[in-house]
Amino acid sequence: MATRTQTIDDDAPQTMMNRLQAGFRPRPRRAHRLEQTAGPGSGARHELSADLLVIGRGSSADLRVESDDVSRMHARLQRLDDEYSIEDLDSRNGVFLNGLRVHAAVLRDGDTLQLGDTVFTYTEGA
């Protein structure tokens, strides 16, 4: 009990403010990322930083995959509240999340995404 009172006394208002402000200081972070595990270009790692990016075969795609199974504009990745969602852009072969065909999904650590013959693993940064 005595120790605890001591700690509170030590926490002068100024110290408390410093601690709170420290929470707002920019810290180095590890980005969310996609690692390609199957399909042409397998092994590629992509750090995700943009708020919006398109995965596709087309030259205008942000994350290009050289596979005929992948549509020119296949899917869109969008960041909201530091989470990425994927949305199928009416692709021919669809987007499969852990084996389930989805129209869209909020991604979670360890998720597998399959677009045609191309497979990615999603890893959340810290």
Partner 1 sequence: MGFFVRFWGVRGSIPTPGPRTRRYGGNTSCYEMRSDTTVLIFDAGTGLRELGLSLVRSPPPAGLELHLFLSHPHWDHIQGFPFFTPAYLPTTTIHVYGSEKNENYQLLSGQMANAYFPVAFKDLSARIVPRSFTGDVVQAGDFVVRRFDQRHPGGSSGFRVEREGRVVVFATDCELDQLLLDPAAARDRPDARRTLPASVLAPMRDADLLIADAQYTDEEYPKRVGWGHARANTVVDLALQAGVRQLALTHHDPMHSDRDVDAMVLTAVERVRAAGAELEVFGAREGVTLRLDRP
- The residue ranges that bind partner 1 (CB under 8 A) are 85, 88, 97, 99-106, 108-110
Residue 13 or 99: which CB sits closer to partner 1? 99
Q: Residue 1 Cβ, how far from partner 1 at the closest point, in Å?
A: 31
- 62-98 CB burial, b ≥16 within 10 A, e <16: ebbbebebbbebbbbbbeeeeebebebeebebbbbbe
Q: What is the token pair recorded at 15?
A: 């110290």
For residue 59, the minimal CB distance to partner 1 (Å) is: 27
Least distance between partner 1 and beta carbon 37 (Å): 19
Cβ-contact 101, 95 below 8 angstroms: yes
Closest to partner 1 by CB, 41 or 110: 110
Q: Is the dihedral of CA 101, 66, 56, 108 positive or negative?
A: positive
The residue among 16 and 104 lying less far from partner 1, judged by its C-beta, is: 104
